[in-house]
């Protein structure tokens, strides 16, 4: 009750206010990438659901990733656009809490989902004859639920512990959204328990999934090196390249964000890295899967032809 009593009515998100000359350019860039992200991920999810040829584990998980990206970026970008448009940089306590829970939930979910997708790629390349048995539909649904519910659980625990901290009137957050490590810095009590929970959650939802991804691709690399035909190697490369690119973008941003040396200007630099993984990466993911994937391009073509045929039929009637 004391913690709630000390909670501020709202927060000030300083964002990029230290560089006001950059805000118009950032507004245009963020709005552009957000539009691409919404359209691209919506198309990917629609194609994966509508085309029976894409009713496979790989595209089932890709549809989940697209839904996750749309939700994650929407939890942050509209507020950011409003702040870049005007002078008011405030967010209500409830809005900050919602942003905090959702971004924490979806960030953890994506870590697990990318690990699950790497196991699916391992099954496709290293166990092609048993892939259908290994990645049967009930297991795929179960793994997807594990990713979403696991992320939700760590968010409910970690975010609740953080938001119960008494802030003693501190309400200025030097970022453009309510991110996990920043709220405890406003607290006026010992935050050791929160730090311990954060370390445990980071190990379970970041380090372990990354370890599983590396192990999966270690087996894939060994299997590819054993292949005698160039065609087999090319096919294996095409099977994994899009996922590798997405994993590199996602984990590269996280590693750079949280393992960079603490020095003057590093926090300001961190805002631009956060801008990359919250705005740019969700827009690039559907482009990576579309441009590097013949199945998705073929499905898009069939969907477009079907839409044109329907339009012509309606016009004749």
Could you please report the per-residue DSSP string of 59-122?
Answer: HHHHHHHHHHHHHHHHTTHHHHHHHHHSS--EEEHHHHHHHHHHHHHHHHHHHHHHHHHHHHHH
Most confident segment among 12-16, 93-97, 109-113, 259-263: 109-113
pTM of this prediction exceeds 0.75:
yes
Q: 3-class DSSP state for residue 179?
A: coil
Q: How far is Cα 242 from Cα 247, in angstroms, rounded to an integer?
A: 9
Q: 3-class DSSP state for residue 172?
A: strand
pLDDT of residue 79: 92
Mean pLDDT of the chain: 85
Per-residue confidence at 62, pLDDT binned at 50, 70, 90? very high
Distance from the Cα of residue 142 to its chain's centroid: 20
CATH number at residue 24: 1.20.1070.10
Per-residue confidence at 101, pLDDT binned at 50, 70, 90? very high
| Residue % of the chain over a pLDDT of 70 | 89
Which one-letter DSSP state was computed for residue 135? T
Q: Give the number of domains in the chain.
A: 1
Q: Within 10 Å of residue 122's Cβ, how many Cβ atoms?
A: 23
Domain that holds residue 202: 2-316
The kind and range of the H/E element at 24 are: helix 23-50
- 106 has a pLDDT exceeding 50: yes
Mean pLDDT, rounded, for 25-39: 95
Q: How many CA atoms lie within 13 A of 198 on its CB side?
A: 16
Q: How far is Cα 31 from Cα 81, in angstroms, rounded to an integer?
A: 7
Helix, strand, coil percentages for the chain (3-state, nearest 5): 80, 5, 20
- 261 has a pLDDT exceeding 60: no
Q: Express each pLDDT in 262-315 by its tens digit.
A: 554 566 777 888 899 899 999 998 888 876 677 777 777 777 776 566 555 555
Can you tell me which residue has the tokens 């000359």?
Answer: 21
Q: Which long-range contacts (CB under 8 A, 24 or more apart) does 195-202 make?
A: 197/157, 197/158, 197/161, 198/158, 201/108, 201/154, 201/157, 201/158
Q: 41 or 87: which carries more pLDDT confidence?
A: 41
Report residue 244: phi and psi, to 5°.
-60, -40
Q: How far is Cα 256 from Cα 278, in angstroms, rounded to an integer?
A: 14
pLDDT of residue 291: 67
Report residue 135: phi and psi, to 5°.
-110, 60
Q: Express each pLDDT in 275-286 by its tens digit.
A: 998 999 999 988
pLDDT of residue 311: 56
Is residue 48 within 8 Å of 59, Cβ to Cβ? Answer: yes
Strand-pair partners of 173: 13
Q: 3-class DSSP state for residue 11?
A: strand
Judged by average pLDDT, the poorest of 86-95, 99-108, 132-141, 288-297 is 288-297
Mean pLDDT, rounded, for 216-222: 93
pLDDT of residue 292: 64
């Amino acid at each position: 009750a004391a913690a709630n009593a000390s909670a501020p009515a709202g927060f000030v998100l300083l964002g990029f206010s230290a560089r006001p000359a950059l805000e118009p350019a950032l507004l245009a860039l963020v709005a552009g990438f957000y539009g691409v992200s919404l359209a691209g991920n919506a198309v990917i999810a629609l194609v994966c659901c509508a085309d029976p040829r894409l009713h496979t584990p790989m595209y089932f998980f890709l549809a989940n990733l697209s839904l996750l990206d749309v939700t994650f970026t929407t939890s942050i970008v509209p507020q950011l656009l409003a702040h870049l448009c005007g002078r008011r940089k405030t967010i209500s306590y409830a809005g900050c809490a919602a942003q905090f829970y959702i971004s924490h939930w979806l960030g953890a979910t994506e870590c697990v989902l990318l690990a699950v997708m790497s196991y699916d790629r391992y099954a496709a390349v290293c166990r092609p004859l048993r892939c259908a048995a290994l990645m049967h539909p009930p297991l795929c649904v179960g793994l997807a639920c594990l990713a979403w519910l696991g992320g939700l659980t760590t968010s409910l625990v970690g975010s609740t512990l953080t938001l119960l901290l008494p802030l003693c009137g501190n309400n200025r957050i030097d970022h453009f959204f309510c991110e996990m490590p920043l709220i405890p810095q406003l607290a006026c009590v010992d935050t050791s328990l929160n730090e311990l929970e954060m370390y445990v959650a980071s190990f379970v939802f970041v380090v372990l999934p990354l370890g599983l991804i590396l192990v999966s691709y270690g087996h894939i690399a060994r299997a590819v090196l054993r292949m005698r035909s160039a065609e087999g190697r090319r096919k294996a490369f095409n099977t994994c390249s899009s996922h590798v690119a997405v994993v590199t973008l996602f984990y590269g941003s996280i590693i750079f964000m949280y393992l960079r040396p603490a020095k003057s200007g590093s926090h300001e630099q961190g805002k631009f890295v956060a801008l990359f993984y919250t705005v740019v990466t969700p827009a690039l993911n559907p482009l990576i899967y579309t441009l590097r994937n013949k199945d998705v391009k073929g499905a898009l073509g069939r969907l477009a032809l079907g839409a044109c045929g329907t339009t012509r039929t309606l016009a004749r009637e």
